[in-house]
Amino acid sequence: MRERYYPDGSQGLYVISVAARLLDMHPQTLRKYERAGFIAPTRTIGMLRLYSSEDINRLRLIKHLVENVGLNLAGIELVLGMAQKLLQLQESLFSIEERDEMQEEVNQVIGEVLRSVGIL
Amino acid sequence: MRERYYPDGSQGLYVISVAARLLDMHPQTLRKYERAGFIAPTRTIGMLRLYSSEDINRLRLIKHLVENVGLNLAGIELVLGMAQKLLQLQESLFSIEERDEMQEEVNQVIGEVLRSVGIL
DNA sequence: GGAACGCTAACGCGGCGTCAAGGTCT
DNA sequence: CAGACCTTGACGCCGCGTTAGCGTTC
């Protein structure tokens, strides 16, 4: 079977059937995850979903969290949120000069994360 | 109805029926959570579970995560693990003098946490 | 010996992935 | 106009809280 070529020829943008095949997931599942707010693929003027490589990677992570870690959707949402905060923290550390300032920043973010799950 | 007094009269130790009433949870649920490894109440020589105040607090957190956050048991396990690491990190920061050392420590732990969920 | 504990197995509700139906875009 | 997309609703499996039954401890 020959490869399909899509009109615009753009790289790294997939319609839902292609994305689903790449990820070995059901198209309906991808739509559900969008409704849940986990991804937001761009749309064509005709409302066709276009998944970027970043969308694909994010979906691959979600799939892993569901299949291997065993999280439900609430867990996915929580993990994605915590991960974002921790990654931001990690980045911001490089631009901090003072030791005390750094400790303050770390405590701030960790406090946020722990409060977000009801600890502290 | 009068209060029951238990033989040893010790404070802050509750048998499962009392613990369940305090938490407004089903005794069987507490037993399930123990099997899941979330808590480990001490036992009497007759194998009766004795819940400490710490056990109660931990169970109260778990109840919150289930009822309000909507996590399943896999999510509980993950959150408890991440929280422990972050709390340890927060403590250890107070005993660190050097800025670079601190950054190293923070990155180390954050890296662990993120890898534990498949990110990084 | 009655009440509360222990354990294992079975029931039932709800979350979530999949299927179905009908309409629109390419 | 055939095929792939859209959306909404229904079905079915399974995780998990609860109930049930029976033996043991207090």
pLDDT tens digits, one per residue of B47-80:
999 999 999 999 999 999 999 999 999 999 999 9
Q: What is the mean pLDDT of residues A74-89?
A: 96
8 Å CB contact between A102 and B103:
yes
8 Å CB contact between A81 and B101:
no
How many Å apart are CA B60 and CA B38, to the nearest integer? 12
Looking at residue B91, its amino acid is E
Question: Percentage of chain A surpassing pLDDT 70?
Answer: 92
Q: What is the DSSP string of A6-25?
A: -TT--SSEE-HHHHHHHHT-
Mean pLDDT (chain A, rounded) = 91
Interface of B with A (CB under 8 A): 61, 64-65, 68-75, 78-79, 82-83, 86-87, 89-90, 93, 97-99, 102-103, 106-107, 110, 113-114, 117-119
Better-scored residue on pLDDT, A38 or A12: A38
Residue with tokens 């400790």, as numbered in its chain: A103
User: Shortest Cα distance from B25 to chain A (angstroms)?
Assistant: 18
Q: Which two tokens stand for residue B44?
A: 């009497």
DSSP annotation of B66: I
For residue A5, name the pLDDT band (cuts at 50, 70, 90).
very low
Give me the residues paired with residue A43 across strands. Answer: A49
Interface of A with B (CB under 8 A): 61, 64-65, 68-75, 78-79, 82-83, 86-87, 89-90, 93, 97-99, 102-103, 106-107, 110, 113-114, 117-119
Q: Which residues of chain B have pLDDT under 70?
A: 1-10
Q: Which two tokens stand for residue B109?
A: 């732990």
* Angular region, A117: left φ>0, alpha ψ -120 to 50, beta rest: alpha
Q: What is the mean pLDDT of residues A7-27?
A: 87
Side-chain half-sphere of A32: how many Cα atoms within 13 Å?
10
Q: What is the mean pLDDT of residues A73-100?
A: 95
Cα separation values, B38 from A56, A93, B24, B77, B119, Å = 34, 33, 18, 7, 24
How many Å apart are CA B65 and CA B75, to the nearest integer? 9
- Which stretches of chain B are assigned E, i.e. beta strand? 13-14, 42-43, 49-52
8 Å CB contact between B63 and B23:
yes
| Residue (of A96, A90, A35) closest to B111 by Cα position | A90
For residue A114, name the pLDDT band (cuts at 50, 70, 90).
very high
